[in-house]
């Protein structure tokens, strides 16, 4: 049975800006400074926050993960995006080894964090970290479906970025439909001679699935209404619930079963992705990575 829609909070720059189109939805616009250099496509992508009651309660995590993906996607030239999409269509998802390495690195950091409280042995801290990460995905920003690199994202200190696994899976399935809209926009931008520039995005998160097709059909979308706070309005806004679920304390964290991806990001002070990985086409299985100040070639076995 589909859960009753849960109000969406305003966090990570998302706000209730669609007006009569969908008053319950939240949205955010993304545009890199380079888009001022020439005509660029303005694309609306639309997501929902899941069918189940569990996913419906994860609106903050949906907004966090969408913000990570589109903050990076909005930096990618349209031609780079199109080339990466062509490669994805030929090869599908790649980089399982890189993702496993990132997962191990994050687990090591989480183990060290837990062991630092001194109440568990190193082996017990390792067991706690592994249990805490059972529902955690290692995030790619953007998703490989949207032209992301095979290597997971890291923050500016090189730490892999965790996210809630069910939310990540929901967004991954929804990215397939949204990618088709972005593909068409990228083709138009390349044909106009502006493939070297990024596209602009309006990302919508709705809690009503029936509205998705209608909202996505508005291409290019109307501009968002300004947040109520900017207008000095007394319009009702949905209060933002506390995040993450576990408040900071000086004592040891709770049992692993209650730990969320947002808690892990807080424990380890993990920040947003530092830069946009580039996935360039070439020999099948060969990529160039330009990220975090490092450049190199990875050859798939």
- DSSP reduced 3-state for 46: strand
Structure tokens, 279: 């996935």
The CA distance from 86 to 219, in Å, is: 23
H or E element in which residue 137 lies: strand 136-138
- pLDDT tens digits for 145-178? 999 988 999 999 999 999 999 999 999 999 999 9
What 3-state class would DSSP assign to 223? coil
Q: Please enumerate in sequence order all residues whose Cβ is within 8 A of that of 29, keeping only pairs 6 or more positions apart, or say none.
A: 200, 201, 202, 203, 223, 224
Q: Is the pLDDT of residue 194 over 60?
A: yes
d(CA 189, CA 29): 18
User: What residues have CB less than 8 Å from 196, skipping those under 6 apart?
Assistant: 77, 78, 79
**Does residue 99 carry a pLDDT above 60?**
yes
**Does residue 295 carry a pLDDT above 50?**
no
Q: Which of 179, 176, 93 is nearest to 137 (CA)?
A: 93
Beta-sheet pairing, 162-164 with 136-138: antiparallel
Average pLDDT on 260-288 reads 67
- Report the pLDDT value the prediction gives residue 105, as an integer from 0 to 100: 97
Q: How far is CA 44 from CA 85, 173, 215, 272, in A?
A: 18, 17, 8, 23
- pLDDT computed for residue 67 by the predictor: 97
- Specify the 3-state DSSP secondary structure of 215: helix
């Amino acid at each position: 049975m589909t859960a009753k829609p849960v109000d969406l909070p305003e966090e990570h720059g998302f706000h209730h800006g669609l007006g009569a189109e969908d008053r319950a939805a939240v949205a955010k616009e993304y545009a890199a400074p380079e888009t001022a250099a020439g005509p660029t496509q303005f694309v609306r992508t639309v997501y929902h926050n899941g069918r189940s009651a569990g996913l419906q309660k994860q609106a903050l995590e949906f907004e966090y993960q969408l913000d990570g993906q589109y903050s990076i996607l909005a930096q990618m030239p349209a031609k780079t995006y199109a080339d990466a999409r062509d490669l994805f269509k030929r090869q599908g998802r790649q980089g399982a080894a890189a993702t496993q390495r990132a997962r191990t690195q994050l687990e090591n950091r989480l183990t060290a964090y837990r062991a630092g409280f001194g109440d568990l042995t190193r082996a017990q801290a390792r067991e706690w970290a592994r249990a805490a990460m059972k529902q955690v995905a290692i995030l790619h920003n953007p998703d490989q479906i949207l032209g992301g690199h095979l290597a997971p994202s890291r923050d500016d200190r090189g730490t892999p970025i965790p996210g809630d696994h069910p939310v990540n899976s929901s967004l991954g399935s929804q990215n397939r439909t949204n990618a088709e809209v972005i593909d068409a926009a990228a083709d138009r931008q390349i044909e106009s001679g502006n493939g070297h520039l990024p596209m602009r995005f309006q990302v919508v998160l709705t809690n009503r699935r029936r509205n998705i097709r209608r909202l996505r059909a508005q291409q290019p979308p109307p501009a968002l209404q300004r947040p109520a706070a900017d207008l000095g309005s007394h319009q009702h806004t949905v209060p933002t619930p506390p995040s993450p679920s576990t408040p900071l304390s000086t004592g040891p964290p709770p049992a692993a079963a209650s730990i969320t991806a947002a808690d892990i990001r807080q424990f380890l002070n993990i920040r947003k992705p530092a830069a946009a990985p580039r996935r360039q086409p070439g020999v099948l299985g060969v990529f160039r990575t330009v990220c975090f100040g490092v450049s190199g070639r990875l050859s798939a076995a």
